[in-house]
Structure 1
Amino acid sequence: MPTPAKLTARQQQVLDLIQSAIRHTGAPPTRAEIAAEMGFKSANAAEEHLQALARKGVIELVSGTSRGIRLCGSAVRALHAAQGTALNLPLSGTSQLVLPLIGRVAAGSPILAQEHVTQTYCVESSLFQHKPDYLLKVRGVSMRDAGIMDGDLLAVQATPEARNGQIVVARLNDEVTVKRFRRTAQGVQLLAENPDYPPIVVAHDETFAIEGVAVGLIRNALPL
């Protein structure tokens, strides 16, 4: 068991608030909510306490979303064991992942922009071999033969690069799509896993970017 971090009384209160919010709502609080609950004058004060907790290894902070706080399970367990208190939040595995669910993405906006986040979910990190950064709700059946169905939640690790054959979230001009990635000497192709959908050949004058790679899938496990 790791050596428990030593928290100040105020840091412990912020940590307790985060755990309580996740336990009761399934999502961590925003900086503004922490500031209001703790009586801080601004959200910046809440951010300072969160940064301190992150440095002590009890939480991780995820950029790009106002609720991007992950509890590090082993560290939180060690804290509670040292304090002789019960841990009511289920934390099997090394950590709980608090992942934003991305809905429809507006043209030209970063995929993790706050206006795209419809909900956040707390899921077990042990579900994934590689840690995802967000969930994307799948629309359509173009990836049906890869087992990715309409309404599924695709767990995505944010990255601008991908290897041939990986399933990616790609931005092509003003659209975001889930396809299998292929790069050849002739250029980039985005391949569907459904014979009803032809390959997409990315033209040289089109705007193209990889937003992330698929690292897992959740189906019928989360209430939507």
Structure 2
Amino acid sequence: MIKLTARQQQVFELVHRAIERTGFPPTRAEIAAELGFSSANSAEEHLRALARKGVIELAAGASRGIRLLHGPNPHDPPHHPPHPYTLPHASLMQLSLPLIGRVAAGSPILAQEHIAQHYACDPALFSSRPDYLLKVRGLSMRDAGILDGDLLAVQKKSEAKDGQIIVARLGDDVTVKRLKRQPNGIELIAENPDYENIFVQADSAEFALEGIAVGLIRPSEF
């Protein structure tokens, strides 16, 4: 049985909640702010302790590179694959993800003309397998840790849970916002007080869900 300190348990549960709610892990700074640590370094120390105990895995150099190796209760035994020796070599497990730049009005987001290049990524960086990377433009999601120039890992989905960060098409534009359901439609929440939220009426033909965020990469991490 894995024994965690009270603080380690709090950090583990915070990471689990963040992945459940938003689709990707919190940054060290977000953990520190949420739990009242004096600095992000304190959060890093607890994460490393959890990694040593085998309940999480850390990806070097990634601000959100935290992967859970246990379910909601870290005291339960982990679920190991039945045949661990049949796993492919690590170099063969890299994902090749298309990077989407500017999206032309009315055309599919994965259209060939939108693909700027491909990146080889470690699957452990993401909470679920993404289909593409979207280059973030602007600072409307700054307080969620998503900055201008970041690469948002997106999984194609036609449905999303309340509170998840999504990629949405609004008429001719593609935007990244947090989804909030309202009785007569949906609200796209900006995580920056300098930007206004966007309300979309139910059954609006202008709105289409392109996918949900499952991870984040800073170009400096490559």
Normalising by the smaller structure, the TM-score range is 0.5 to 0.7
Asked whether the equivalents of residues 184 and 201 of structure 2 are also in contact (C-alpha less than 8 Å), the reply is no
| Secondary structure of 1:160 counterpart | coil
Normalising to structure 2: TM-score of the pair? 0.58
| Secondary structure of 1:126 counterpart | helix
Deviations 1:136-177 (A, max 9, x none): 000000000000000000000011111110000000111100
**Aligned residue in 2 for 1:116:** 114
Aligned residues: 137
Distance 1:193 1:75 in 2: 40
Distance 1:156 1:221 in 2: 19
| Secondary structure of 2:91 counterpart | coil
Deviations 1:173-212 (A, max 9, x none): 1110000011111211111000011110113555111100
Flag structure 2 segments of 5+ consecutive residues without an equivalent.
1-85
Q: RCO higher in 1 or 2 (8 Å CA, sep ≥ 6)?
A: 2
**Aligned residue in 2 for 1:132:** 130
Normalising to structure 1: TM-score of the pair? 0.57
Flag structure 1 segments of 5+ consecutive residues without an equivalent.
1-73, 78-88
> Paired residue for 1:194, among 173, 192, 199?
192
Q: Indicate the larger mover: 201-210 or 211-220.
A: 201-210
Deviations 1:42-84 (A, max 9, x none): xxxxxxxxxxxxxxxxxxxxxxxxxxxxxxxx6654xxxxxxx
| Secondary structure of 1:221 counterpart | helix
**Aligned residue in 2 for 1:209:** 208
Distance 1:130 1:176 in 2: 22
Q: Which structure has the bigger radius of gyration?
A: 1
Deviations 1:59-110 (A, max 9, x none): xxxxxxxxxxxxxxx6654xxxxxxxxxxx834xxx2100000000011111
Query: Is 1:102 equivalent to 2:103 in the alignment?
Result: no
Distance 1:135 1:114 in 2: 14
Aligned-pair identity in percent equals 62
- Structure 1 stretches of at least 4 aligned residues deviating more than 6 Å after TM superposition: none
Amino acid at match of 2:155: Q
Distance 2:102 2:132 in 1: 13
Amino acid at match of 1:90: S
Deviations 1:12-41 (A, max 9, x none): xxxxxxxxxxxxxxxxxxxxxxxxxxxxxx
Distance 1:134 1:162 in 2: 17
**Aligned residue in 2 for 1:184:** 182
| Secondary structure of 2:109 counterpart | coil
**Aligned residue in 1 for 2:172:** 174
Amino acid at match of 1:210: L
Distance 1:131 1:107 in 2: 27
| Secondary structure of 2:113 counterpart | helix
Distance 1:203 1:76 in 2: 47
Query: Is 1:90 equivalent to 2:91 in the alignment?
Result: yes
Pair 1:136–1:202, CA change in 2 (3 A): same
Distance 1:135 1:202 in 2: 25
Asked whether the equivalents of residues 101 and 134 of structure 2 are also in contact (C-alpha less than 8 Å), the reply is yes
> Paired residue for 1:148, among 135, 146, 151?
146
